[in-house]
Structures are given as structure tokens and as C-alpha cells.
């Protein structure tokens, strides 16, 4: 079982540029020891014959084919626009910057 000692926690704190008090070092040593123990237990699972996967079930692409289709006719869009200029919507200026 993996274990971590106080000196390693102090070293990790120094690398992370953390000022750890003695109580924090004790607390983090206990927590990191439990985390490393859990990782060691997972590593003991007999899984040599199981290939690594990112998903437990097979994944397939659920998207449709990307087929280009005609868009809206500009004249139809222009008819529904409150203001239209140079084939674009005309909207009120909201910034004080020059055009």
C-alpha cells in the first residue's frame, strides 16, 4: 500500500507555493494517504485481459450527415426585416465608436 509522509506533504506544499501550518500538514498527510490507498486498491483489480476504454459501452456517432441545403431567399428575409440596407439587417448603433 502506498503511503505518504509529512516531509513529502511539506515538499508538495512548497512546490505549490503554499504555507502549510502543522495542523494542515497533518490533515493533508492523512487525506493524501487515504487517496493513495484508494488508488492502490483500484490498481489491484485483475484486468490484464480487459482493454482500456473511455466508455463502458460502444459509442457511435449519432449526428446526421452534413448535407448542404438551400437557405432562405434574401428577398423573403428582407421583407420581414424592420430595416434592410446593402443585403444586411440595419440596426440602431449601440456603441459610440465611429463606423
What 8-state DSSP symbol labels residue 86?
Answer: T
pLDDT in tens, 18-77: 999 999 999 999 999 999 999 888 888 877 887 777 888 888 888 888 899 999 888 888
Give the CATH number, domain containing residue 24.
1.10.20
Domain containing residue 39: 6-43
Count the domains in the chain.
Answer: 1
User: For residue 76, is it within any domain?
Assistant: no
User: For residue 25, is it within any domain?
Assistant: yes
Cell for 99? 463606423
Residues in the chain: 99
pTM exceeding the 0.75 threshold for the entire prediction: no
User: For residue 28, is it within any domain?
Assistant: yes
**Please, which pLDDT band fits residue 13 given cuts at 50, 70 and 90?**
very high
User: For residue 86, is it within any domain?
Assistant: no
What pLDDT score does 33 carry? 94
Amino acid at each position: 500500500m502506498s503511503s505518504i509522509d509529512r516531509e513529502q506533504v511539506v515538499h508538495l506544499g512548497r512546490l505549490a507555493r503554499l504555507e502549510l501550518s502543522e495542523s494542515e500538514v497533518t490533515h493533508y498527510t492523512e487525506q493524501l494517504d487515504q487517496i493513495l490507498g484508494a488508488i492502490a486498491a483500484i490498481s489491484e483489480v485483475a484486468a490484464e485481459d480487459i482493454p482500456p476504454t473511455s466508455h463502458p459501452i460502444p459509442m457511435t456517432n449519432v449526428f446526421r450527415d452534413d448535407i448542404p441545403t438551400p437557405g432562405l431567399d434574401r428577398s423573403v428575409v428582407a421583407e420581414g426585416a424592420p430595416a434592410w440596407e446593402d443585403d444586411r439587417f440595419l440596426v440602431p448603433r449601440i456603441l459610440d465608436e465611429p463606423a
